């Protein structure tokens, strides 16, 4: 898919969806000797975002004759609604992906203004008086979606009054094609068997854990593969001289699940 700043959302989503639909055509699968009953959609980080969004979109396409058997999401980024989940609070200054960097990535993706970064950081865009966000609040209530071992002693950051103009300026903040965690239950029920890998030392940990819980609540078979001693992006570190145990164990666990389920 094309990248920022050449194009911004929703073009990356459209690129990924277009390529996937092309690949799922029977003649294309035959050309590459692909078994149409054994196809998985997978991605890591921003790719996990697109994999989840594409999978949701495909599940609603009534004309599709071949569908993915699985989705496998590796430390996916799935929401821009709450930048104060326990993992965002716990890992706000964690190397590789500190919170302010993640917020700036969202602003880049949406072609927004960096002046909004502080308001996003304190959840002004989803305050209680921001009407556009109200209907989504129940879909991302981490106090009910996360286990106590992840919630620890962190408290929700919910502003009473905020800035509705942020959503007016960047409506994509609440667009499920960009933030798949906010999808309605009816869409989640249509998702294939799912694998979600999360790491403790990662602001995005709770994105993946909450999505796994929402999918499970919707009746989808989900494997949540959590690593207490790993960090965001670690799976790329598998080749000398950066062949870290974090990369090797996450990669091996991911491939093992695919071997057993695909």
- Residue 230 phi/psi, 5-degree rounding, is -115, 170
- pLDDT bin (cut points 50, 70, 90) of residue 125 is very high
Whether the CB-CB separation of 81 and 204 falls below 8 Å is answered with no
- pLDDT bin (cut points 50, 70, 90) of residue 77 is very high
Question: Rounded to whole angstroms, what are the CA distances from 26 to 33, 61, 123, 145?
Answer: 10, 16, 45, 39
Task: Write the pLDDT tens digit of every residue in 152-199.
Answer: 999 999 999 999 999 999 999 999 999 999 999 999 999 999 999 999
Burial class (CB in 10 A: 0-12, 13-18, 19+), 82: buried
- How much is the average pLDDT of 216-239? 97
- pLDDT bin (cut points 50, 70, 90) of residue 40 is very high
Q: Give me the pLDDT at residue 78, please.
A: 98
Fold of 10-260: Rossmann fold (3.40.50)
Domain boundaries, the chain: 10-260
- How much is the average pLDDT of 10-37? 98
Q: Give me the pLDDT at residue 156, please.
A: 97
Mean pLDDT (the chain, rounded): 97
- pLDDT bin (cut points 50, 70, 90) of residue 86 is very high
- How much is the average pLDDT of 11-17? 98
**Is 59 designated active site?**
no
Question: Could you say which of 42, 45, 87, 194 is catalytic?
Answer: 45
Whether the CB-CB separation of 59 and 187 falls below 8 Å is answered with yes
| Coil vs helix vs strand at 197 | strand
| Coil vs helix vs strand at 43 | strand
Give the DSSP letter string of the chain: ---TTT--TTHHHHHHHHHHHHHTSHHHHHHTT--TTS-EEEEETHHHHHHHHHHHHHHT-TT-SS--SEEEEES----SS-TTSHHHHHTTT-SSS-HHHHHHHHHHHTT--GGGHHHHHTTGGG-TT-HHHHTTGGGG-HHHHS-HHHHTT------SS--HHHHHH-GGGG-TTT-GGG--HHHHTTPPEEEEEEEEE-TTHHHHHHHHHHHHHTT--EEEEEEEEEETTGGG--STTS--HHHHHHHHHHHHHHHHH-
Task: Write the pLDDT tens digit of every residue in 126-161.
Answer: 999 999 999 999 999 999 999 999 999 999 999 999
List the one residue out of 133, 128, 134, 117 whose CA is nearest residue 171. 133
The residue with tokens 């002004």 is 124
Instruction: Determine the Cα–Cα distance for residues 177 and 183; give it in Å rounded to an integer.
Output: 9
């Amino acid at each position: 898919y094309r990248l920022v700043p050449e194009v911004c959302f929703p073009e990356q989503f459209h690129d990924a969806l277009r390529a996937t639909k092309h690949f799922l055509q029977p003649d294309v699968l035959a050309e590459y000797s692909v078994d149409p009953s054994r196809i998985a959609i997978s991605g890591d980080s921003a790719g996990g975002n697109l994999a989840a969004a594409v999978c949701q979109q495909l599940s609603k396409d009534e004309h599709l004759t071949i569908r993915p058997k699985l989705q496998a999401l590796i430390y996916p980024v799935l929401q821009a609604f709450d930048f104060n989940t326990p993992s965002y609070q716990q890992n706000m200054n964690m190397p590789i992906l500190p919170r302010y960097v993640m917020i700036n990535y969202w602003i880049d993706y949406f072609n927004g203004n960096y002046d909004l970064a502080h308001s996003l950081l304190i959840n002004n865009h989803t305050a209680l008086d921001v009407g556009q966000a109200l209907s989504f609040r129940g879909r991302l209530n981490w106090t009910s979606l996360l286990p106590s071992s992840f919630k620890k002693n962190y408290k929700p950051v919910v502003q009473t009054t905020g800035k509705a103009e942020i959503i007016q300026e960047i409506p994509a903040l609440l667009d499920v094609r960009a933030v798949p965690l906010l999808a309605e239950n009816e869409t989640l029920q249509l998702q294939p068997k799912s694998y979600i890998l999360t790491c403790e030392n990662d602001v995005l940990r709770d994105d993946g854990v909450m999505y796994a819980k929402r999918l499970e609540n919707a009746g989808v078979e989900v494997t949540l593969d959590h690593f207490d001693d790993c960090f965001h992006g670690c799976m790329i570190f598998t080749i000398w001289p950066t062949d870290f145990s974090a990369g090797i164990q996450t990669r091996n666990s991911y491939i093992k699940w695919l071997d057993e389920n695909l």
